[in-house]
Amino acid sequence: MKFTKPQSLKDIADIIGCSYVGASDFPVYGMNEIHVVTEGDIVFVDHPKYYDKALQSAATIVLINKEVACPEGKALLISDDPFRDFNKLTKHFRPFLSANVSISDSTVIGEGTVVQPNCFIGNNVSIGKNCILHANVSIYDNCVIGDNVIIQAGTILGADAFYYKKREEGFDQLLSGGRVVIADNVGIGALCTIDKGVTGDTTIGAGTKIDNQVHVGHDTIIGKKCLIAAQTGIAGCVVIEDEVTLWGQVGTTSGITIGAKAVILGQTGVTKSVEGGKSYFGTPIEESREKLKQLANIKRLPELLKKS
């Protein structure tokens, strides 16, 4: 998430009430999670296991809960609770805006687009030309939808990420300030849920078609011309490259990559990254030919035991 105008290190420290290491006018351009940070971004870290990764990341401002040596060319924000203070920054720069109309006045809708009854479209949404939003579609704030997109009834774009920190009193939610971005010629089935990024974008590439009752987690990137069948669940921060096919009831873990033109057969659990151009099946996932051989051999076990 980039700020609408640059901030200084001191400005940010004042917002969250913490000390800092670095020049007071050190420039801050945005905030992001570690997998999508760029120069000028804030990243937060609150566990020693990830200190080095955060300090060595592309982020130039690190919100951290320990006084450490500041890498050259970077700045630190020293906080007793970086998770809490990252949420404070999200509230400050991307606050929740309540709605009192079904379609916000700030929404931009392209020529030829049809919005069926009972749709909700939030603040600062952009919808392209010749789209169809069927009844009861909900589009949360800041979503971007391209041209020739069809969204079937009951689908929700832009709900919060499923991202929590466990505390003694319960689970503390990491607030979501990102977006959902849908490219041209995408088809989305009925009752799908596509969560916005925590600070970045959840993206669906041009020409991809999604069946009914599919869930796409936060910050996931789906490439061009993919096919995703019903009841598939895609976790957060997954990269699905171009022309991938996911058949029904596939489930994935977070943070993995599925290579271009891979085919994942139904009810497979994608527990790790897989190469493109191959067919996969099973849980844990394996190439489908090998997995099906194993299943055939299991059926032969009684026969083999008799022979032994």
- The confidence score (pLDDT) of residue 58 equals 96
Q: Do residues 35 and 121 share a domain?
A: no
Q: Do residues 82 and 16 share a domain?
A: yes
pLDDT(280) > 90: yes
For residue 26, the 8-state DSSP code is: -
Helix, strand, coil tally for the chain in percent (to 5) = 15, 30, 50
Q: Do residues 145 and 231 share a domain?
A: yes
Domain-embedded: residue 299: no
Q: Which of 99, 79, 91 has the alpha carbon at shortest distance from 174?
A: 91
Q: Do residues 19 and 136 share a domain?
A: no
Domain-embedded: residue 227: yes
Mean pLDDT of 264-283: 96
CB atoms within 10 A of CB 110: 16
Assign residue 153 the CATH number of its domain.
2.160.10.10
Assign residue 13 the CATH number of its domain.
3.40.1390.10
Q: 């789906």: which residue's tokens? A: 222
3-class DSSP assignment, residue 77: strand
Q: Do residues 233 and 115 share a domain?
A: yes
53 phi-psi bin (left φ>0, alpha ψ -120 to 50, beta other) = alpha
Domain-embedded: residue 42: yes
Task: Give the end of a domain, one of 65, 93, 121.
Answer: 93
Q: Do residues 68 and 136 share a domain?
A: no
User: How many separate domains does the chain show?
Assistant: 2
The pLDDT tens digits for 2-44 are 999 999 999 999 999 999 999 999 999 999 998 889 999 999 9
CA distance 36 to 237: 10
Gyration radius (Cα) of the chain, Å: 22
Q: Which of 2, 29, 22 has the alpha carbon at shortest distance from 10?
A: 22
pLDDT(102) > 90: yes
Residues 6+ apart with CB under 8 A from 269: 250, 251, 252, 253, 282, 283, 284, 285
Q: Using 50, 70 and 90 to split pLDDT, how confident is the model at 91?
A: very high
- The confidence score (pLDDT) of residue 308 equals 66
Domain-embedded: residue 98: no
Q: In the chain, what percentage of residues exceed pLDDT 90?
A: 92
CA distance 10 to 139: 36
Domain-embedded: residue 125: yes
Q: Using 50, 70 and 90 to split pLDDT, how confident is the model at 113?
A: very high
Domain-embedded: residue 197: yes
Out of 47, 92, 134, 218, the active site residue is 218
Domain-embedded: residue 216: yes
- The confidence score (pLDDT) of residue 31 equals 97
Q: Do residues 61 and 124 share a domain?
A: no
- The confidence score (pLDDT) of residue 81 equals 97
Domain-embedded: residue 103: no
Mean pLDDT of 88-109: 96
CA distance 247 to 229: 5
Let me know if 35 is a catalytic residue.
no
CA distance 297 to 299: 5
Q: What are 62's strand-pairing partners?
A: 43, 76
CA distance 100 to 219: 28
pLDDT(203) > 70: yes
Q: Do residues 152 and 181 share a domain?
A: yes
Q: Do residues 147 and 12 share a domain?
A: no
Residues 6+ apart with CB under 8 A from 285: 264, 268, 269, 270, 271, 272, 274
3-class DSSP assignment, residue 293: helix
- The confidence score (pLDDT) of residue 304 equals 72
Mean pLDDT of 282-291: 90
Q: Which of 83, 75, 79, 52 has the alpha carbon at shortest distance from 64?
A: 79
- The confidence score (pLDDT) of residue 307 equals 74
Q: Which residue range is the domain that position 72 belongs to?
A: 2-93
Q: Do residues 147 and 7 share a domain?
A: no
Tokens of 146: 């391209």
pLDDT(249) > 70: yes
Q: Do residues 85 and 120 share a domain?
A: no
Q: Do residues 161 and 277 share a domain?
A: yes
